[in-house]
Chains A and B, each alone.
Chain A
Amino acid sequence: MNIFIFGLVNSVILALMASGFALVYGVSRLANFAHGALYILVGFATWLFLNRVGVNYIGSIILSIIAVSVLGGVIYRFLLIRVKGMPASEIIASLAIGIAIMELFRWRGFISEAYMLPPFVNGSVSIAGVMIDWQRLIIIGVGLAIMLLLWLFTHHTKVGLSLRAIAQDKHASMMSGIEPDRTAVISLAMGSALSGIAAVVILPLGNITVETGYMVLTNAIAVCIIGGLGSWAGVFAGAFLLGFAEILTAAFIGPQWQMVVVLLFIILTLILKPSGLLGKQKELEERV
């Protein structure tokens, strides 16, 4: 039971971390390696608004999420748009921007234990004999709510439908008057906002550190690869597979093997089925 509940929480955390990355890649085929940086940016921005500027907690969360989504859009519109279509340059440029953001925080001295966000609700509750704090339950709730909202957004609003259209067939949707650059800006802004939401619900579990940024990036990539790049169901499948695999390894083999199992999963997925568990890319395109 213990394993089941914490595996579930871990999986939802992974899914939340990966959702922004998956959205950006799915819509604009752009691997946004600045994802982890945006994640901790929201954490630190919320902390600053809360403790230095004196906005209340909800206000500072909303402000920092808006700020980071604008930043995401700006990064695409003015920087990444120039290297669109060159995968190596895209990755280097976004990774370099991300590292610059993260190391800037390190330089300003944001590296002590003091930087942590308060949990939304204190205390814990016992479910089937397992003590679990409210924050972890809130994470599950927020994760499910976000997935539902995203589904509604992509299936029932005009902007959401245009995002899906671009993801499915770029040329056909361009012919129906959808501008790919505009949707890419929207997708990057939304992806950044998603990473921000993930940050504000997950970060109260521990300290905000610069290393979290790198960790979030690797986790997001791992989940997206295993689940299949550009597929929503895949993000879920990948997150649950990895989340439970991590918890099970930590429980039965030993915590130092956790990362090895994750990496083996990634390598085996890529060798056996490169498009991921539920990826929609044609197998032939990936293999010779």
Chain B
Amino acid sequence: MAYALLPMVSFVLGMLVLPLVVPSMTWQRIMTLSCIFALLALSFDFLAHFVGIVCLGGAFFTGVGGYISGLLNSAFGLPMIITIPVATIAGGAICTLFLIPCLPIRGIYFAIVSLMYPILFHRVIQALNIFGGTDGLPGLATFPNIWVELYFIIPMTLILTFGLRRLVNEDFGIVLRAIKDNDQAVRASNINISWYKTKAVFIASTIGCFAGACLAHLYGWVGLSLFALDFSIFPIAATVVGGGGTLVGPILGALILAPLSEMLRAFGPLRVVFYSLILAGLVIFKTEGFVPFLERKYHQFERWTEI
């Protein structure tokens, strides 16, 4: 029992205790940002490895979520406790509506469409000069202090991770995984795959919009940078580093990569060079990913001591 529970318990405890032991407030801030990225990576991993939709729309989700909560907050003065849930649900619905026409497309093609949406929104907002145009909407409500921030986002990350893990093992998840493996067979069983995919995309975009709404209130500012390419690329990187198809892997990957990128800040402009070289190295030479590797070692080690 302890053998089976140890990895999970240590992961949860580690996540909860980490903000208490990191040296400074900067690092606590980095923790919250890592968790935001972790949520995006989680939604990417869920869609990619359990539904078979490679969705690079991370920036789309953060942008839509962030702008909705920002608009509600600045135009109507609604408090954060209302804007975040509204932005999460409404943003998820809007993103899903935009992605529905692309659902029949497969693989890399869907990836490209979903990558194009945030750039399109970015350009349209810029061209029409709406929602504050290039300046964005400043002066939003922020979290009262860093502890509220940390202990709101970290438990949400944990709940969503384990919630999704349970979901993919339910009947609903089994259908989703069947769609990933062989969609024609699922269709032949008289199951409407478009409906299932729509629901899956809604779940993933809700998570993404939640991350975006939190991000808007973390910075107290909404701008075009919420549609930046980083939010689309980073989740894939985190998933590849952490190990795809594990749901915990992307979280760990994000928790490794985001602080890494901060640590490299000391190198100035060379930071991006080092970061991308490290990333390329991890992807090329450690293809398996971090979590599957640890899992294998953990089981090997146990067997070895018992014999």
A interface residues, Cβ below 8 angstroms from B? 31, 79-80, 82-83, 86-89, 91-93, 95-97, 99-100, 103-104, 106-107, 221, 225, 254, 256-257, 259-260, 263-264, 266-267, 270-271, 274, 285-288
How many A-B pairs fall under 8 Å by CB? 119
Closest to A106 in B: B269
Known contacts A87-B108, A89-B240; 13 additional CB pairs below 8 A are A82-B284, A88-B48, A92-B280, A96-B283, A97-B280, A100-B277, A103-B276, A104-B273, A256-B123, A263-B120, A287-B105, A288-B184, A288-B187
**Candidates B124, B127, B273; contact of A103 at CB < 8 Å:** B273
Nearest 10 interchain pairs by C-beta: A96-B280, A96-B276, A103-B272, A263-B120, A100-B276, A99-B276, A107-B269, A274-B109, A256-B127, A96-B279
Question: Which B104-125 residues sit within 8 Å CB-CB of chain A?
Answer: 104-109, 112-113, 116-117, 119-120, 123-124
User: By the criterion CB–CB under 8 Å, are A263 and B123 in contact?
Assistant: yes
User: By the criterion CB–CB under 8 Å, are A270 and B105 in contact?
Assistant: yes
CB distance from B295 to the nearest CB of A (A): 19
Among B48, B109, B123, B280: residue with most chain A CB under 10 A: B280
**Candidates B239, B268, B280; contact of A93 at CB < 8 Å:** B280
User: By the criterion CB–CB under 8 Å, are B123 and A259 in contact?
Assistant: yes
Q: In the complex, what residues of A have CB within 8 A of residue B244's CB?
A: 88
Query: What range describes how many residues of B lie at the interface?
Result: 35 or more
Closest to B44 in A: A88
User: By the criterion CB–CB under 8 Å, are A288 and B120 in contact?
Assistant: no
User: By the criterion CB–CB under 8 Å, are B107 and A87 in contact?
Assistant: yes
Assembly CA distance A86 to B194 (angstroms): 26
Question: Which B73-127 residues sit within 8 Å CB-CB of chain A?
Answer: 101-109, 112-113, 116-117, 119-120, 123-124, 126-127
Q: In the complex, what residues of B have CB within 8 A of residue A106's CB?
A: 269
Q: In the complex, what residues of A have CB within 8 A of residue B283's CB?
A: 83, 89, 92-93, 96
User: By the criterion CB–CB under 8 Å, are A287 and B106 in contact?
Assistant: yes
CB distance from B245 to the nearest CB of A (A): 12
